[in-house]
Structure formats: structure tokens, C-alpha cells
Amino acid sequence: MSEESRLRWQCRRGMRELDELLLRYLEQRYPGADEDEKAAFHEVLALADPELNGYLLQRRSPESERIARVIGQILNLPPG
């Protein structure tokens, strides 16, 4: 399985809105991201669903600055 296929699979969280946000980031931003941002995105994908949902639905804020930056990037991408 290629890295892109693996990441696409990890972006599927079971909530359509969240899936769309994560996949939009993967398609629009991830290919041009530097290695630090890519690593931070991997950290985002490793989060438990309730925690990730809270961040992406803006109900809570990440303590990690790296994760907060990626969450901000995800939320600020224009609709695809």
C-alpha cells in the first residue's frame, strides 16, 4: 500500500464532515508541505476520534503548537 493510500485510509473517520476536511488537506496542502508539517499531520491522524473531532469542530484547542498549526491549516483551506 502506498503512503498516499495509507493516509487516505487514515483520513476516514466515520463522520462525513471530518472525512472531507482531512481529505481536502491531504489533497490540497499535504503534497507541498515541508517535512515538519507532514510529521505533524501524521500526529493529527494518530489522535483518538473524540479528541480530533473536538479540534476540528472547534470545541477545544490542541495543547501542541504543531498540531494546532495543522488543525488551523485544515480549517482554513477553501472548499474543494
Q: What is the pLDDT of residue 7?
A: 95
Cα gap 75→71, rounded to integer Å: 6
Which among 79, 39, 75 is positioned nearest to 58, based on CA atoms? 75
How sure is the predictor about 80, in pLDDT bands with cuts at 50, 70 and 90?
A: low
Burial-class residue 64 by CB neighbours within 10 Å (0-12, 13-18, 19+). middle
**Site of grid cell 498549526:** 69
pLDDT (tens digit per residue) in 61-77: 999 999 999 999 999 99
pLDDT (tens digit per residue) in 23-55: 999 999 999 999 999 999 999 999 999 999 999
* Domains, the chain, ordered by start: 3-76 (1.10.150.250)
